[in-house]
Amino acid sequence: MEKKLAAALNEQINHELFSAYLYLSMAAWSETRNLPGFAHWLSLQAKEEVGHAMKIFGFLVDRGERVVLDAIKKPETDFESPRDVFARTLEHEKKVTALINRLYDLSGKVNDQAAAIFLQWFVTEQVEEEKNASSILETLKMLKPDSSAIFMLDHQLAKRE
């Protein structure tokens, strides 16, 4: 594999693990606000992000490339409200989408068809990731902070499987 592409895929493992760390941090914050449903949803999201990192890990290994892990940056730990959490989630996912698109473009530039096909899954996944964050954010925008409706939404988020 082209060195530049292998390095960028290694970096993406770090971005995905940082995403997991960020959502876990948001889950921890939600627990302190007595919002176990939000915490559950965010913890599952963190697990998904580890899954994304592992997919790339496996792909690099299958291609005979070396995986070299870097330090994971400290995530934010304080949030203003559930709405703030999901505004930041959406903002973060948009950044990840840009990174994935850049990786996909790079795989084309270096003529790595296998990588391009592999990355297509992530391109599609990002549509889902942005949609999920955006739909929860839009609901939160309609609810008064600290209203009982927030707790009803919490109940709903607790059902994520």
Q: Between 121 and 151, whose beta carbon lies closer to ligand FEO?
A: 121
The least CB distance from residue 32 to ligand FEO, in Å, is 23
Residue numbers 95-154 binding ligand FEO by CB under 6 A: 96, 129
Helices (H), 2-112: 3-32, 36-62, 82-109
Residue with tokens 């473009």: 105
31 in a labelled binding site: no
Site string for ligand FEO, 78-97 (x = CB under 6 A): ---------------x--x-
**Cα distance between residue 39 and residue 30, in whole Å:** 5
Site string for ligand FEO, 37-76 (x = CB under 6 A): ------------x--x------------------------
Phi-psi domain of 111 (left: phi exceeds 0; alpha: psi -120 through 50; beta: other): left
**Cα distance between residue 129 and residue 125, in whole Å:** 6
